[in-house]
Structure 1
Amino acid sequence: MSFGSGSEVSGPGTVTTSLVALQDPTNYFVTLNGISVGSTYLPFSSSGLRTSRRGTYFYNRLESEVKRVVELTPIDDPQLRPQLCYGRNVEAKGPVLTAHFDGPADVELKQTSTFIEAKDGIFCFAMTPTDGPGGIVSNFAQTDHLVGFDIDKNTVSFKPTDCTKL
């Protein structure tokens, strides 16, 4: 993590999206247009839905598409419900997800940032539904990305990188 002069995120592969001003000044917000699971685009659409239900509706479509693409049987573990979980092989067979932000700013999320090891040898989908006015881009989703906030320009930038080599 870098701050101040010289800490800008730029160069090949960098994408930038605008920060959105909301009533909560303690957080930064961006506009998510949708997420692709492999080559299937799922728009974040709230048409006809109450605001408080659109996050759950979108998550249910996203989870269904992940289940369709992953050619493994989910693990049914009462301690992990309702999370979508698989065995160790999901690391190799899990889909690449792409978050599509305004800009356009497409941020590719690899399997290592979309499935986390919840128990020894059991990996669970690292996204959960929310019914609030916004969601959270977790630290797992940001794995192997440089993320830069430019408060003067009201933007956030993402650049894929191998964080093990920094």
Structure 2
Amino acid sequence: MELLPCLLVFFLLHVPLACPAPSGIRATLTHVDSNGEFTASERYRRAMRRSQHRMDAIGEMLTVSGIDARATVHDGLGEYMMDLAVGTPALPFSAIMDTGSDLVWAQCQPCVECLPHSALQYDPSNSSTYSASPCTDSYCTALPSTCTTACIYHYDYMDSSWTEGVLSTETFTFGSGDPIPDITFGCGYNNSFNTPFYSSGLVGLGPGSLSLVSQLGFGKFSYCLTSIDDLSSTGTLLLGSYADLKEPASAIRSTPLVADSYYFLDLRGMSIGATLLPIPSDTFANNIFIDSGTTFTTLPRAALELVQQELRSVVDLPPANDIPWFDTCFQLKSGEVPQLPDMTFHFSGADMVLPMRNYMVVDMEAGVMCLAMNPSSDPVSIFGNFQQQNMHILYDVAGKTLSFAPAQCDKL
């Protein structure tokens, strides 16, 4: 509660003070489908459609901009929402957490084009802490904008969706923490999304200057995502001093972040059980993008075919060929699920060992289990959040390192 004494003095004495920023933030994460009554098969199909859309967007974005350059168009969708509040008085809402973009934005009233699923009724004229950013603001030049008396931004997404509004500053509250003043955000009056967008805004956590983690100078953040099969549980997002891994040191592994503009990892190879797959050394030449918003991992076809081949050799079940949303599926016998060996991703300096539940989807309704991976779109592969579930993952943005350890995310 670092800000509370400062705020009390401000209100009692009416003296403007330079309140210290908090050392960290904690926020709850919920899956975008947590409020829907979907069957397991429906959840997987919905997740696959979102993953395919995001994979195509990221692939096109990086084809246009390159891995080491910031894009002027962004991927935009996500899988996990965080709870926060905007303004004074504070209005709670949910926003997509996105490691693939930078801008923090929320829908503002009166909106011209409005998000159909947004419950937020934030009118900046009713907030005592709102301020439109001037043309001279350095953040105004960090994104496409026009400026006369205020900074009017336009932020494009790859599916021709966009958000447009006034770049502004406002007080935000995260979880049960103290209000944090003067966060730069997009006050979105025109928000046009061609794919379903089940929140009232988005919190960018990329490495760019506009992202929340960069604005607050934290230098690091972590998250722990619960399973798509357990939508009643919630995960956690931690920023700043709260983000340190508390797991045993012996369980923590670290690998470099190898690009300045996006979160890329150097993937060297893969194993299933004790078998190192004969993946050619140049297969992952473009590295792999670790992403909070893509559900299922995508791999170059040459690597994926070797994974599929090895799985078929260890799974004693007939193939299921009529499952449209996954490439590799097996028909379960009498509803019994076989136990499969762990899968290991060999990153530079660190092995991430995944249990079967982190790489196989088991759909008891359809009587199948499927490999939760698909072929990638050039030029990029994506390490999806299904593979990250129940893994505490720390992005040390300042130190250009990603660390991780197995965790029970609903207990973090």
Q: Secondary structure at the match of 2:374?
A: coil
What is aligned with 2:47?
none
1:15 partnered with 2:15: no
What is aligned with 1:148?
394
Q: How does 1:1-166 map to 2 (within 5 A)?
A: 1-9=237-245, 11-21=249-259, 25=261, 27-46=262-281, 55-77=300-322, 79-80=323-324, 83-86=327-330, 87=332, 88-90=335-337, 92-103=338-349, 105-117=350-362, 120=365, 121-166=367-412
Preserved CA contact (<8 Å) 2:268 2:281: no
Preserved CA contact (<8 Å) 1:37 1:97: yes
Q: Secondary structure at the match of 2:351?
A: strand
Preserved CA contact (<8 Å) 2:326 2:374: no
CA distance in structure 2 between the aligned counterparts of 1:74 and 1:56, rounded to whole angstroms: 19
TM-score, normalization by structure 2: 0.35
Instruction: Please state how far the C-alpha of 1:89 moved relative to its aligned partner.
Output: 3.6
Q: Secondary structure at the match of 2:238?
A: coil
CA distance in structure 2 between the aligned counterparts of 1:47 and 1:141, rounded to whole angstroms: 23
Q: Give the partner amino acid of 2:382.
A: I
Q: Give the partner amino acid of 1:85.
A: C
Instruction: Please state how far the C-alpha of 1:85 moved relative to its aligned partner.
Output: 1.2
Preserved CA contact (<8 Å) 1:32 1:44: no
Q: Secondary structure at the match of 1:2?
A: strand
CA distance in structure 2 between the aligned counterparts of 1:128 and 1:165, rounded to whole angstroms: 31
Instruction: Please state how far the C-alpha of 1:71 moved relative to its aligned partner.
Output: 1.8
Preserved CA contact (<8 Å) 2:321 2:329: yes
* More deviation, 123-132/59-68: 123-132
* More deviation, 148-157/7-16: 7-16
Instruction: Please state how far the C-alpha of 1:64 moved relative to its aligned partner.
Output: 0.4
Q: Secondary structure at the match of 1:12?
A: helix
Preserved CA contact (<8 Å) 2:279 2:303: yes
CA distance in structure 2 between the aligned counterparts of 1:72 and 1:133, rounded to whole angstroms: 34
Larger-gyration structure (1/2): 2
Distance 1:80 1:117, change over 3 A: farther
CA distance in structure 2 between the aligned counterparts of 1:134 and 1:163, rounded to whole angstroms: 28
CA distance in structure 2 between the aligned counterparts of 1:73 and 1:155, rounded to whole angstroms: 42
CA distance in structure 1 between the aligned counterparts of 2:344 and 2:256, rounded to whole angstroms: 18
List per-residue Cα deviations over 1:81-115 (Å, max 9, x = no partner).
Answer: 6611123544x322310111001x11111111111
CA distance in structure 1 between the aligned counterparts of 2:328 and 2:267, rounded to whole angstroms: 22
Stretches of structure 2 that go unaligned for 5 or more consecutive residues are 1-236, 287-298
CA distance in structure 2 between the aligned counterparts of 1:135 and 1:115, rounded to whole angstroms: 18
Q: CA RMSD in A?
A: 2.5
CA distance in structure 2 between the aligned counterparts of 1:33 and 1:19, rounded to whole angstroms: 14
Runs of 4+ in 1 over 4 A off after TM superposition: none
Instruction: Please state how far the C-alpha of 1:131 moved relative to its aligned partner.
Output: 4.3
TM-score, normalization by structure 1: 0.82
* More deviation, 112-121/63-72: 112-121
Q: Secondary structure at the match of 1:141?
A: helix
CA distance in structure 2 between the aligned counterparts of 1:102 and 1:16, rounded to whole angstroms: 9
Q: Secondary structure at the match of 2:394?
A: strand
What is the count of residue pairs matched by the alignment? 157
Q: Give the partner amino acid of 1:8.
A: D
Distance 1:106 1:135, change over 3 A: same
Q: Give the partner amino acid of 1:9.
A: L
Instruction: Please state how far the C-alpha of 1:6 moved relative to its aligned partner.
Output: 2.6
* More deviation, 66-75/30-39: 66-75
Q: Secondary structure at the match of 1:64?
A: helix
Instruction: Please state how far the C-alpha of 1:73 moved relative to its aligned partner.
Output: 1.7
Q: Give the partner amino acid of 1:38.
A: G
